[in-house]
Each structure stands twice: as structure tokens, then as C-alpha cells.
Structure 1
Amino acid sequence: MLGFLTARQAGLDDPLRLRRAESTRRVLSLTLNPDREVDRIHGNGINTIDIEVVEGRYMLSGGADGVIVIYDLENYSGKLHYTCKSVCTVGRSNRYVHKFSVETVQWYPYDTGMFVSSSFDKTMKVWDTETLKPAEVFEFEGNVYSHHLSPIARKHSLIAVGTKDPKIHLCDLKSGSRIQVLQGHRAEILSVRWSPRYEHILATASADSKVKVWDVRRASGCLFSLDQHNGDKSKAASEAVNTAHNGRVNGLCFTGDGLYLLTTGTDDRMRLWNSATGENTLVNYGKVSNGNRKKLQFAVSRGCGPEFVFVPCESSVAVYAVHTGELVSTLRGHYNNVDCCELHPDYQVPTSQFGSAARSSTLEVKTVTSWRGFLSFAPQMWRTSQKVQIRLPGPRLQ
């Protein structure tokens, strides 16, 4: 590390190289953090989480009970051990609460004043954070499995939505209406994801074992379907043509630069694809246990060299090197299956939702776990979960 600092000070090295080295070191030294807890608000399973990228301070969670919670991840207590408090909750007493399980929550990429949730009650709601009331409600004919807003879009404000219907719906935030439908899948759409590189490129995963890449500006829509055999008909003779997996495809995630796409399926496989050509890179990750019949939320590191992917795998989180398939480490500490995980945008600290064994026979408690990594920097030891403060809950996130 001192070598990187000296080279940077002398102007002999790219400053980003030090950042990559630091981020990589943090990922490789992650351990369970005994000093951070999160308020237990949900009375049932937690399906989805999202950390906003504007400040990296607030986290959304959506549960199987229909409840949505906003947490403040910062710490102003001045104490090493602290609990991340709930800022506000859309609970069962709220007249606008989802009637059934919340499957996806996402912050508006540019402002914490708005977030979007979708549910098995066949609705997607756009919420005003200040009032905790929906500014817009989109209704669908089937359960909503997944939705996603583009993190980089400037020319459109579309939300891609995957439902039990095999059509992908595109909803416009500006007009408050569904403006386009993409057709091509033959079963429910389990996951949708916009490219972080090109704002009009969308990837979709379905229970029909297929992954399709779309350009929403084109009349035909679909650019190509991913083929695990790269067009080798002899290998695919006994299987359906152009299938990405031999089972339901329930997970999608682009790498930070948008050049590659990772997919997961119920065939216990994870695959890495060239997002421009659709080529299967044939990276072997081994068996990646995946018994989730709904969307699987996993995360890819940002600014590391090499890149890492964090994947829920039964009761642990498996960390793989993206481009080699090497299992780097396994984050253990959960008591039940991990449902989803998310990476903090600033500190490279993964936060994972998991189920724990219930102390009561009638209540299953779901909690959040954070991980702590140590790195040597000069003569001191630093935690990757930086010490900050918790402000008092307020109606507006500013």
C-alpha cells in the first residue's frame, strides 16, 4: 500500500490504481461485523433491499408481509457498537401498503425523494418519500416479480417491469402510463435489468430458460437471445435452442462497466456473457446452489481489480472472481437461506438479507447482516464500515 501511495504522490501512477487496490483489499478481507445491527421491523421474510447511491446513507427493504422500511445506515452516537435505525415505515396500518409480498424496491437513481416498489398484489407504486404516499400506481394482470429503473438514463424515464405475463411492460414515469410492451418470452418474467453503459439496452430473464437483450428504440425490440452453447447445434440437439440455462433464469446483473452480463438459474449454474455479442464466455463457477423460484438479487463489486460477484448461496454468500470463476471466499454467519444481497456503493460493504431461526413458533424473524473487512494502511487498522452518525428520523430525506 505504501508503494501505491509513493507512486501516486510522485505522479508515477494512475490515482485510480490506488482506489482499485484499496477496494480489492477490502473485499478480500471481509469478516462478520459484530458492532453493527439493524432494527428488526419486518415480521416476515425480507425479499429485497436497495441502498441509494446519492449519499449511500439510506437503505430500503421490502418484505413478504408487504411492509417497506427505510433505514438510516449512518451512526452519530459516537459509540463503536450501534444499531441502524428505521427512519420511516410503510406498515400494515398505512392505507397505501401493499396487500401481498413486496418483491422489488428501488430508489430513484437521482434523488432520495422518490422510490418504487412492486408486489404480488399486481401493482407497482411510485412513492413520495416525504409523505409516504404513492404518487403513481401501475396495475397489472399478474403478480409483479421484478422492476428496474435505468441508473444512467437521460433521454427516457422508463421502468421495465417483469410480471407473470410473459410480456415485458415499459412504464413511463413522466406520463404515468404504460407506453410499450416487449414480446418474445413464453413464461413469466423473473428479472429485468437496464444496462449501466447504454441507457436503451435492457436484459430480461424468464422461467422459459431464456435471457433476451433488447434495444427499446427498435421496432423489433429484441437484439438477441443468449445461447449457452454459442450456436453449437450438436451440443444443443437434445435441448431447446437459444436457452441460457437448463432451468428457470431468475437472476441478472451487469458488471459495473456494462461490458458483461451475469445470469443465474435454477440449474445451479451462473454464467458470464459478453453483453455486446451475447457470447457465453464459458467461465466455470462450479455449482452455485439456487433453489429460489422467484428473483435472486445478487451484486457485483465496483472499482475492484479483479471484479467480484456476491451471490446468495443457501445460508451463506459466495464471493467469486467474475472473470476466472474462482471461489474467493464464503461469507458465513446466517442461520437460514439468504434471500438477497446488495453492495454499499461507497465502502464496498455487502449487506445481505437472510432468514434466521425463529425463537417463537409463530414468528419468523428476518434481519440484516453487515460485514467488516480489515486492511492495513500506514500503522493503523481501519474498518470498511466507516464510522458515521445516525440522525433523528425525519419525514424528508435531504
Structure 2
Amino acid sequence: MLGFLAARQTGLDDPLRLRRAESTRRVFGLELNPDRDVDQVHGNGINTIDIEAVEGRYMLSGGSDGVIVIYDLENYSGKPQYTCKAVCTIGRSNRYVHKFSVETVQWYPYDTGMIVSSSFDKTMKVWDTETLKPAEVFEFEGNVYSHHLSPIARKHSLIAVGTKYPKIQLCDLKSGSRTHVLQGHRAEVLSVRWSPRYEHILATASADSKVKVWDVRRATGSLFTLDQHNGDKSKASSEAVNTAHNGRVNGLCFTGDGLYILTTGTDDRMRLWNSATGENTLVNYGKVCNESRKKVQFTVSRGCSPEFVFVPCGSSIAVYALHTGELVTMLRGHYNNVDCCEFHPDYQELYSGGKDCNILAWVPVLRVSDMEEKSRNSNNKVAADQTPVDPAFQDAWSSDED
């Protein structure tokens, strides 16, 4: 680490390399924080969480009880041990509360004055966080499994919605109406995600084992369908042509730069795809346990080298290296199945929610060996090229130095 600091100080290196190296070290050190609690408000399992990108201060959660909660993640106590307080709750006493399970919640990408939630009560609601009342309500024919607003869109304000029926609905926040539908799937649409790189590109995952990528400006169908066999028909059975998985595809996520798509399915597999060509990169993550029939919310780190994937796996969270498929660690702390997790890129922290009604905070821990190393380097003024490196981080740092 002193080598990065010295190179940055003398102007020989890009400051971003130091940031990537430290971010990577912090992810390697993720552990359950015994000093940070999150208010337990939900009476049933937590299906979805989201952290707003404007300040990185507030977190949303939605549960099987239909309740939506807003938490403040800041520590005002001045003490190491504190609780993230629930500052707002759309609970059972609210006349506008969802009647059934909330499946997805999301902050409006550009300010914290609005949130969007969707539920098994066949509605999607756009909430004003000041009044805790819905400014707009969209009603659908079937249960809503997933929705998503583009994090970068400037030319449209569309919300993509996946429901019990195969058609993907596009709802316009400006007009308050459903503008058009995307047809191509043959079963319920379990997950939808906009690209963080191109504002008109949308990916959808369905129970028909397929993942499709769309340009919503086109009226001629999807751009392409992901094929796990990369077009090799000799490896595919007649039923598995142009399928992403051999089961329901219930997890979908873009990487932070939008260059890759990650998918998970009930065939206990996770796959990494080139988002531009649809090519299966054939990264082997091994068995990734997935027994959920609904959407699974997993997440990818940002600002690290290499990047990491955090995937709910039973009552644990599996952490994989994105491009090698190596299982880095298993984060254990929940008492029941984990349904969702969200990465906080500002602090390299992870939050997870599960059927045990708890939200847990996983934070980087500075181990005694690290502190001793820093003290030794400071006292002895070890030269940058002689700085001892923790073997656990050697691979991450060496990849930055190449």
C-alpha cells in the first residue's frame, strides 16, 4: 500500500489505482459488524432493499408483510456501536399500504423525494417521501415480480415492469400511462434491468428459461436472446435452444460499467454474458444454490480490481470473483434464507435481508495483523518496494500493478 501512496505522491501513478487497491482490500475484509444494527420493523421476510445513489445515506426495504421502510445509515451517536434508525415506515396503518408482499423497491435515481414499489397486489406505486402518499398508481392484471428505473436515462422516464404475464410493460413517469409492451417471452417475467451504460437497453429474465436484451426504441422485437451454448446446436437439446439456463431465470444484474450481464437460475448456475454480443463467457462459478421461485436480488461490487459478485445462497451470501468464478468467501450470519443484498460503493459495505426479518450490515474489518503491519511500516520507514503484503490481498494488488 505504501508503494501506491508513494507513486501517487510523486505523480508517477494514477490516483484511481490506489483507490481500486484499497476498495479491493476492503471487500476482502468484509465481516458481519457486531456494532451496527438495523431497526427490525418487518414482521415477515425482507424481499428487497435499495440504497439511494445521491447521498448514499438512506436505504429502502420492502417485505412480505407489504411494509416499506426507509432507514438512515448515518451514525450520529459518536460511538462505534449504533443502530440504523427507521426514519419512515409505510406500515399497515397507512391507508395506501400494499395489500400483499412487496417484491421490489427502488429510489428515484436523481433525488430522494420519490420511491417506487411493486407488489403481489398487482400494483406499482410511485411514492412522495414527504407525504408518504402515492403520487401515481399503476395497476396490472397479474402479480408484479420486478420493476426498474434506468439509473442514467435523460431522454426517457420509463419504468420497466415484469409481471405474471409474458409481456413486459413500460410505464412513463411523465405521462402516468403505460406507453407500450415488449412481447417475446412465454412465461412470467421475473426480473428486469436497464443498462447502466446505454439508456435505451433493457434486459429481461423469465421463467421460460430465456433472457432477452431489448432496445426499446425498436418495434421489431428483442435485439438478441442469450444462448448458454453460444449457438452450438450439437450441445443443446430441442427444448434448450436459445435458453440462458435449464430452469427459471430469476436473477439478473448488469456490472457497474454495463459491459456484462450476470444471470442466475433454478438450475443452480450463474452465468456471465457479454452485454454487447450476448456471448456466454463460460466462467464457471460452480453450484450456486437457488431454490427461489421469485426474483433473487444479487449485486456486483464497483470500483474494485477484480470485481466481486455477492449472491444469496441459502442462509449465506456467496462472494465470487467476477471474471474467474473463484469462490472468495461465504458470509454467514442470517438465521434463514437470504433473499436480497445490496452493495454500498462509497464505503465498500454490504447490506442483506432475509426471511429471518433481519437486515445485516457487512463492513470491512481492519485485522490486528493489518494494524501491526502499518505500525511496523511507520516505525521502521520501510521502503515502498519492501512493504510486506498480506497474501490474501496479493492477487488483487498484483493485478493493479500489471
TM-score (norm 2): 0.91
Aligned mate of 1:374, from 349, 356, 365? 365
C-alpha separation in 1, matches of 2:358 and 2:108: 24
RMSD of aligned alpha carbons: 1.1
Q: What percent of counterpart residues are identical? A: 85
Which secondary structure does the structure 1 equivalent of 2:156 belong to? coil
C-alpha separation in 2, matches of 1:192 and 1:348: 25
Shift of 1:355: 2.8
The equivalent residue for 1:228 is 228
Q: Is the 8 A contact 2:144 2:164 kept in 1?
A: yes
- What amino acid is the match of 2:167? K
Q: Highest CA radius of gyration, 1 or 2?
A: 2
C-alpha separation in 1, matches of 2:287 and 2:150: 31
The equivalent residue for 1:284 is 284
| 2:14 is equivalent to residue 10 of structure 1 | no
Deviation string for 1:210-262 (max 9, x for gaps)? 00000001111300000000000111134321000000000001111100000
- What amino acid is the match of 1:92? R
Shift of 1:348: 1.3
Shift of 1:373: 1.5
C-alpha separation in 1, matches of 2:10 and 2:327: 36
C-alpha separation in 1, matches of 2:241 and 2:32: 43
Task: Figure out how many residues of one structure are paired with residues of the other and give that number.
Answer: 371
The equivalent residue for 1:247 is 247
The equivalent residue for 1:383 is none
Q: Is the 8 A contact 1:152 1:196 kept in 2?
A: yes
Which secondary structure does the structure 2 equivalent of 1:79 belong to? coil
C-alpha separation in 1, matches of 2:13 and 2:91: 52
Shift of 1:372: 2.3
Q: Is the 8 A contact 2:184 2:221 kept in 1?
A: no
The equivalent residue for 1:390 is none
Structure 1 consecutive aligned stretches of length 4 or more whose deviation exceeds 3 Å = 375-380
C-alpha separation in 1, matches of 2:165 and 2:237: 29
Deviation string for 1:62-114 (max 9, x for gaps)? 01010000000111111111011110100001000000000000000000000
Which residues of 2 match residues 311-326 of structure 1 at below 5 A? 311-326=311-326
Q: Is the 8 A contact 2:150 2:195 kept in 1?
A: yes
The equivalent residue for 1:73 is 73
- 2-11 or 371-380, which moves further after superposition? 371-380
Q: Is the 8 A contact 1:61 1:68 kept in 2?
A: yes
C-alpha separation in 1, matches of 2:31 and 2:60: 23
- What amino acid is the match of 1:93? S
**Unmatched 5+ residue regions in structure 1?**
357-365, 381-398
Q: Is the 8 A contact 1:53 1:345 kept in 2?
A: no
The equivalent residue for 2:113 is 113
- What amino acid is the match of 1:180? H
The equivalent residue for 1:300 is 300
The equivalent residue for 2:171 is 171
- What amino acid is the match of 2:262? L
**Unmatched 5+ residue regions in structure 2?**
377-402
Give 1 or 2: higher helix fraction. 2
Which residues of 2 match residues 1-398 of structure 1 at below 5 A? 1-356=1-356, 366-375=357-366, 376=370, 378-379=374-375
C-alpha separation in 1, matches of 2:110 and 2:134: 18
- What amino acid is the match of 2:21? A
Deviation string for 1:339-372 (max 9, x for gaps)? 110011311101000233xxxxxxxxx1111112
Which secondary structure does the structure 2 equivalent of 1:178 belong to? strand
TM-score (norm 1): 0.92
- What amino acid is the match of 2:362? W
Which secondary structure does the structure 1 equivalent of 2:223 belong to? strand
